[in-house]
Amino acid sequence: MNFVKKSPWILHYDGSSCNGCDIEVLACLTPLYDVERFGIINTGNPKHADILLITGSVNEQNIPVVKQLYEQMAMPKVVVAVGICATSGGIFAECYNVVGGVDKVLPVDVYVPGCAARPEAIIDGVVKALGILEEKQKFARKKNS
Amino acid sequence: MIILIIIGIIILAPLVGGLLTGIDRVITARMQGRQGPPILQPFYDVLKLIQKESIEVNSMHRFYIYISLIFAVFTTVILLSGGDILLAVFALTLGSIFFVLGGYASNSPYSTIGSERELLQIMAYEPMVLLTCVGFYYADKSFFVKDIISASIPSIVYLPGVFIGFVFILTFKLRKSPFDLSMSHHGHQEIVKGITTEYSGRDLAVIEITHWYEVVFALTLVFVFFATKSPISRIVAVVACAAVYFLEIIIDNAFARLKWQQALNAAWIVTGVLGTINLLILSYFR
């Protein structure tokens, strides 16, 4: 049986977000939405996490940071881009220091657009990511066996 | 027969510990006005971690964690099969020391701080645990659990102060606020998770399972306080274990984390006053 769907642990990284999406991500943990009922824990440690949640666009300064966080996560892992800035760069796309969406640097699995993305949309995106996580684990197992 | 009992303890103890942790998480969530995860969530977490990749920092830091688990299993088997309570306590301390060494071994600054905090915790709770063992000897003239739980009068009658002191330091052992300096159940982004920073996958699962054994160990000592040879007292003892665990959950949710100086002072003052005075009075009358 596959248990990764039952206990996805999340690492939340703020790229160059305006903090709007970050507040919505944290709102998911409050009693109103309570994502812990799906077994979701917001860890602060890439080595414990299964899902990398990135808000905000990627800029020249944080490319190595984002890459290192992704590399430190244990397999299987997925990346969820939260908010329109993380999906495409949003209104900051034309800035001189902004590279664009997270997919310019990392393989993004789920895009959650919105400015700011609503908590319901974020939870929906994470639940979608769980399906991909399961597939990735099955694929990894087939490769090993 | 003895082998069957030992295998039974090794399998059942973590199941009970995991279930208790799950109930703890649900009750905690309800106290915070949330719905909370399913009761089996700790098992889901551990099974997921076992299926995940383990990142190896160096060969030693994983080794210490497995040694720590072996000592926790050893302790639980000794205690539940009615063995020597002193041996159990010292074996568990050795397991904790190996856990601390594992934190130092990875050479990460977060792990090092976590290890130092764990050492301070050990320093804070260890005197009271030893006094508890001494207290059992004063009350029942034996260090063996099977002798203590077959006495005619429960040990709590002789050791009320030691019992309160023991429940006090149980907050350290069960990793509950206000004394959860290293490895809390909450605060996943904070330095309190320091000692587990470099562990992932199977190693993190082993740390969790070790904690389940420790929960069973702690509640078994509570059981020993109440149990006598009559079967009714055994039921009372189980109810007492449940009550103590529930009390710890309430304390966990009602208090903020203390600084290590305050935690150390509080633990040693309680140990000094309740534990020592209880033993002094007991040695005077018996």
pLDDT of residue B190: 77
Evaluate if residue A143 carries a pLDDT over 80: no
pLDDT, tens digit (0-9, with 9 covering 90-100), for A108-139: 999 998 888 899 999 999 888 888 888 888 88
pLDDT of residue B191: 75
pLDDT category of residue A1 using cuts at 50, 70 and 90: low
Q: Is the distance from CB of B143 to CB of B79 less than 8 angstroms?
A: no
pLDDT of residue B240: 92
| Cβ–Cβ gap A50/B35 under 8 Å | no
pLDDT of residue B16: 93
Answer yes or no: is A15 within a domain.
yes
CA–CA dist A118, A109 (Å, integer): 19
pLDDT, tens digit (0-9, with 9 covering 90-100), for B152-167: 888 888 889 999 999 9
Domain ranges of chain B: 2-285
Answer yes or no: is A3 within a domain.
no
Task: Please report where in the chains the tokens 């002193």 appear, as a residue.
Answer: B86
DSSP state of B84: B
| CATH code at position A25 | 3.40.50.12280
Pick from B77, B107, B83: which is nearest to B7 by CA? B77
Partner residue opposite B52 with nearest CB, options A6, A43, A74 = A74
pLDDT of residue B66: 92
Residue A112 host element (H or E): strand A110-112
Query: Which residues from chain B sit within 8 angstroms of residue A76, using beta carbons?
Result: 52-53
What ranges in A28-118 are assigned the alpha helix state H? Answer: 63-72, 84-88
pLDDT of residue B62: 86
HSE (side-chain half, CA atoms, 13 Å) at B273: 7
Partner residue opposite B44 with nearest CB, options A3, A43, A76 = A3
pLDDT, tens digit (0-9, with 9 covering 90-100), for B49-88: 888 888 888 888 888 999 999 999 999 999 988 889 999 9
Of all residues in chain A, the one with the smallest CA distance to B32 is A31
Q: Domain range holding A107? A: 9-144
CA–CA dist A89, A100 (Å, integer): 4
DSSP state of B182: S
pLDDT of residue A140: 77
| Cβ–Cβ gap B48/A48 under 8 Å | no
pLDDT category of residue B22 using cuts at 50, 70 and 90: very high
pLDDT of residue B43: 92
pLDDT, tens digit (0-9, with 9 covering 90-100), for B24-50: 999 999 998 888 899 999 999 999 888
Q: How far is CA B92 from the centre of its chain?
A: 9
Answer yes or no: is A87 within a domain.
yes
Pick from A12, A79, A74, A3: which is nearest to A42 by CA? A12
Q: Which residue has the higher pLDDT, B98 or B187?
A: B98
CA–CA dist A12, A53 (Å, integer): 5
The pair of structure tokens assigned to A37 is: 């009922």
DSSP state of B219: H
Count: domains in chain A: 1
The pair of structure tokens assigned to B74 is: 């050893």
CA–CA dist B92, B122 (Å, integer): 11
pLDDT of residue A37: 87
Chain A interface mutation, best of B62, B188, B195, highest count of A Cβ atoms under 10 Å: B188
Pick from A27, A82, A93: which is nearest to A56 by CA? A82
pLDDT, tens digit (0-9, with 9 covering 90-100), for A24-59: 988 988 888 888 888 888 888 888 888 999 998 898
Chain B interface mutation, best of A3, A11, A22, highest count of B Cβ atoms under 10 Å: A3
pLDDT category of residue A2 using cuts at 50, 70 and 90: confident
In this prediction, what percent of chain B has a pLDDT beyond 70?
100
